[in-house]
Amino acid sequence: MNVYANTKKESEKIIAKTKEGYLILRPSVILWFSPNTTNDRPFSRLLKNLDQGTPAVYDTSRKFQPSYLGHICEVIDVSIQKKLWNEIILVAVEDLKSRYDTAKDILAPFGITVEVADKHDTLPVVKEDLSKLKKLNLPAYSYDRMIQKIIDEIKHRELFQL
């Protein structure tokens, strides 16, 4: 484990000791249209490809279960309504995807071609167990639903301008 992962793990242990209760959500790589397009986050790169016509070249070697901010917000909302406490919940989709997969699926409807890059990422692939979403009757998203929501948000991004 790296320093980032260890810090998160230790933070969760501290949070779990609270007397008032806790709810810890564990997303993966979060995809969502963000009005902050000045940073170099994965989604900002996608928008740059779309808006500026910059080359769309994405890695295929690293697989992950993407998370979508809208899904995370729904899980938070339902968790508050249900008064769920003292839970650690993974929030992502079941499918393992690469940055190439997500970029291709998001940019293709806009006519942007995405090229393959293999960065030979050798980190182990971890498929997380998302059964707690179902067990707690929380919203679950498919990969296709997540992608469609993101595409719709991009098409209507004027609604997200600050």
Cα separation of 87 and 94, whole Å?
20
| Domains held by the chain: number | 1
CA distances from 156 to 35, 159, 160 (A): 12, 6, 8
pTM, to two decimals: 0.88
CATH number at residue 80: 3.40.50.720
Domain of residue 18, residue span = 3-160
If you average pLDDT over residues 140-145, what whole number do you get?
97
CA proximity to 73, closest of 25, 18, 145: 25
Cα separation of 112 and 92, whole Å?
25
Judge whether residue 11 has pLDDT over 70. yes
Residues 34-89 have pLDDT tens digits of 666 677 777 888 888 998 888 899 999 999 999 999 999 999 999 999 999 999 99
Q: Of 32-46, 72-86, 92-106, 125-139, which gets the smallest average pLDDT?
A: 32-46
- Residue 37: predicted pLDDT: 62
Cα separation of 8 and 26, whole Å?
10
Cα separation of 112 and 58, whole Å?
13
Query: How many other C-beta atoms can be found within 10 angstroms of the C-beta atom of residue 80?
Result: 10
Cβ 33 vs Cβ 70: under 8 Å: no
User: Which residues, including other chains, have CB under 8 Å from residue 125's CB and lie 6 or more apart?
Assistant: 62, 63, 64, 96
Residues 150-160 have pLDDT tens digits of 999 999 988 86
